[in-house]
Structures are given as C-alpha cells and as structure tokens.
A and B are shown apart, each in its own frame.
Chain A
C-alpha cells in the first residue's frame, strides 16, 4: 500500500510538473538564478582563498649567516627549525649557490662582474629561507632564532641577520587584512545563500497559491494530507533537480570562459607573476566537481522540496 501510494504520488508529481509547463518554467528560471548566485559565491570564495594563499606564500623570512659559519651547523639549525610546528618549509641556499645565482643574473653586466672579480673571495653569505604555515607565526619564529642565537664550536654566533623586522610591516598588515577578508566573505556568503533560499521559497509559495483551490478539492474528496502534499513536493524536487543541472552546466561554461578571459585581459603578466590564476576556475570546477555537484544539487532538491512541503501546509487545513 505504501509502495502504491508512493508510486501514485510520484507519477502525479511528474505529470503536474509537465502539464503546468509555464509555472514549472518560471520556477526553474528563478531557482536556477538563485543557485547560480550560490555557485558564484562558491567560486568567488575559491578564488579569494587561492589569492590569499598566494599572498601568504609570498611572505617569508630569510636568515643570513656569518661568512665563516660552518655549513654543518647551519644544516643542524635547519633541521631544528623544520621541526617547529609553525614552520611550513625551509630552503637552505649555500654561499656557492648564491654566488652562481648572482653571476647568472648579472653575467651581461661587465662592470658588476669586474667588481666581483676584484673582490676575489665569495662575498655572499649562506641563507635559510623560512615559510611559516600562517603569516602570524613569523614573529614567533624570528624570536625563537634570536633567543637561541646558535654558535659554532668556537662560540661565535653563526646568524648574522634575520630580515623579519624589514618584512614586519607587510606581515602585520596581512595579519589584519586576511581575517577581515575571510569574515566578510563568510558573511556575504550567508546573506546571499539566505536571499537565494527566500527567493526560492517565495516562488514556490506563489505557485502553490495558484493551485490552492485544487488542494482544497482534493481534501474534500477525502484525500489525506500525504496525498495532496506529496505530488507538490515531488514537483518541487523536480524544479530543484532540473535547475541544479542547468546551473552546473552554466557554471562549467562560465568557469572555462572566465579563465580564457583572465588570460586574454592580463596576458603574459598573469602567466609569469600570477601563475596560480591560470585556469583557476576550471581547475577548481574539475577538482571539486563532486562537492559542487552535491552542494548545488542538494540545495536545489532540499529548497525545492522543503519549500513545497511548507507552502502546502496552510492550504491543507480544509
């Protein structure tokens, strides 16, 4: 009996979805627009996050060592720093490496190359590049190194300079801006999601209002609430499913199109300096497809079905 009821309700829902073609179309347009807002929000969030990540990863501190510091001591220090919970990565650049990098960079400038030759010895110190997991942690890492003040076997400090103070201003600003940006993003997301939900609910409420007389008749010929409400919920879910599919197609198209647009507008600069921005949307779309699909489809189905369920309630009192 339950199976029969379910079958009849589903069939009636499908049929009324199809026969009320114009209403269904109107509902799908509105729900698609709302879901697109939601999808746009998810994309904007992803773009913002990847932008922030990029900015965060640009921030680092360099520890410059004394010219005489033994490499073994530096490597020991690197291991210690690496073991700190706040540290993401460290890169050791030896004196020779710094020298050859410098030479490669200035090899066409005879004046500089001559000066370097006259110096005779390698004037460049070894350095350790440290990236923290979070920009807020650089202060702590710098203090840790200053307090530790490692020395070689003869008691001479091996650290010459830490450039934290020079980067402090930028780091502090980022620390203030990033949480604000993240909070604003979250609030915006909630507001837009709420607006989308309200728009969908009201659309379905209007559609339900147009069929209120039919609902009353169904009740008066002895149909139970399940029988009256069920087909509406099925149709509501159908609106959601169709809208979600359309939304996903539009989002995919928009993702690939905006990637192409970014490349064309920003050109070579993007490719060189902001490589993360290449195909950021399409990459996000394909790697997070399952999640996007679940969110958009889930929102469509839940909002469509639940709105119908709630909207029908006031007309079931007959």
Chain B
C-alpha cells in the first residue's frame, strides 16, 4: 500500500535525515516507527504527505509516486491520509466543531453528512461536551484527541501520527494509544512514530527502528529496543 524505495533526504544544511530507506506497509497494519530524536522519523512521515521532498528515491502510495502528483492529486492523496501532529496543529480561530468540519468540507462532503459525523466522531474521542470550545480552552490531551478526530472523520485509508503523545502525560498517552488501536481494529492502516517505550509496548505489532537515517530493525512483533 505504502512503499519507501531507497529514500534519502539531505537537508540544505547537509544534515542527513534519511539514507537509502526501503520498506513497505500493508493495508490494515499498525506500524510503529521508533528512534531517537533526529533519527529521521518525522521526515519519513512528511515525505508520505508530500510536505517534503526526498533528495533521492521514491515514495509510493498504492501505485502512485507521491512526489510526481499534481497539486490537485496531492490534495486528494492527503484526504486519504489522516495526519496527527505532535503539536496538534489545530486552527486556533476555529471551534472544535469547525476544525473537524473543515477537513470534511475540504474533501467535499455534504453539509448534512458533516452535521451528523462531527458530533459522532467527537463522541468517539470522548469530547462531545467540548464541541463549541476553541482549542485554547482545551488541555493538551483534549487537543490531541480533537486532532485525532479531525484525522479520522474523513475515514481515510491511512492515519499517520507523528509523536502524538510527545506532549502528553502517561494517562493521556495511554488514552490516545487506545483510540489509535481501536481505529486500527476498524480497518485503518496506522503509521505511528514515537520514542516512548511505554507506547511501543502497549501497541504491540510491527516496529521499525531507525537510527541515524537508516532502518536498523524491522520486527513483526516488536518491542522497544534501542
């Protein structure tokens, strides 16, 4: 479904983020990518949503080379990939409802559908009571749950989560992982990066370990080993 083909990424300041990385991801997999800060985890995810370009190699989504897509096709690809960022990236001037509705509006859903789905997805992340609040009125854990709601509301094929628990306390961290596992059980492919041992051990499943831009381990039933 997703395939990284000998991908390298060197930033303009000569920092090597990735070096000849190749691996594939099957539909409905829950893949955790672990590694120290700066190992290249975030770069991998950025390449998948065409937020960044590889210096060398290709990234495929199904049969499409992501970095050869037109603007319109890139937008369509991004609607099939829900993204959760470590810093939430909610739109501060929109309410919780509007933040989530925006993703649906952008993918051209009908108003009736939006009005029905947004409260439903907020119930799913247990935030039904905060629907008209602004992001600044929410705690970190709540914001991250809104971000997850935004990512899943368009029922994407893949969810990528870049250190979604990085800013959260253990309780919230566990809650986020629980939600992600639930989404995966419903059939969505999940690609998660973390450097939190607890998260890896809770998730189970496939673990890819990255060190200094290279894949050093790829275990089917991995544990956190660094």
Interface residues of A (CB under 8 A from B): 1, 4-5, 8, 15-16, 19-20, 213-214, 217-225, 227, 318
Contact = CB atoms under 8 A, between A and B. Distances in A.
Interface string B17-48: 00000000000000000000000000000000
Contacts of B79: 221-222
Nearest to A8: B105
B78 A220 contact: yes
Interface stretch (B56-64, B85-93, B177-185): B85-93
B106 A214 contact: no
B83 A20 contact: no
Contact of B150 (A4, A15, A221): A221
Interface stretch (B4-12, B69-77, B189-197, B210-218): B69-77
Given A1-B108, A4-B111, A213-B89, A218 B71 contact: no
Given A227-B105, A318-B51, A222 B93 contact: no
| Contact-size category for B | 20 to 34
B174 interface: no
Main secondary structure of the interface of A (DSSP, over half): helix
A218 B101 CA distance: 12
A222 B81 CA distance: 9
A35 B105 CA distance: 36
Contacts of B107: 222
A4 B77 CA distance: 22
Contacts of B110: 4
B93 A223 contact: no
Contacts of B158: none
B154 interface: yes
Interface string B150-171: 1100100000000000000000
A214 B91 contact: yes
A223 B111 contact: no
Contacts of B76: 222
B49 interface: yes
A244 B82 CA distance: 42
12 contacts: A4-B108, A15-B98, A16-B93, A19-B93, A214-B93, A219-B78, A220-B83, A220-B89, A221-B78, A221-B103, A221-B106, A227-B105
B224 interface: no
Contacts of B78: 219-222
B93 A227 contact: no
A113 B77 CA distance: 103
State the 9 A-B residue pairs at the shortest beta-carbon distance, nearest first.
A222-B79, A222-B78, A223-B106, A217-B89, A221-B103, A224-B75, A214-B91, A19-B93, A227-B106
Nearest to B111: A4
A38 B75 CA distance: 41
Given A220-B89, A225-B71, A227-B106, 18 more contacts: A1-B108, A4-B111, A19-B93, A214-B91, A214-B92, A218-B102, A220-B49, A220-B78, A221-B83, A221-B150, A222-B75, A222-B77, A222-B78, A222-B79, A223-B75, A223-B102, A224-B106, A318-B51
A217 B111 contact: no
Contacts of B51: 220, 318
Contacts of B105: 8, 227
B91 A217 contact: yes
Contacts of A222: 75-79, 103, 106-107, 154
A214 B85 CA distance: 13
B75, B110, B151: most-surrounded residue (chain A CB, <10 A): B75
Contacts of B106: 218, 221-224, 227
Contacts of B82: 221
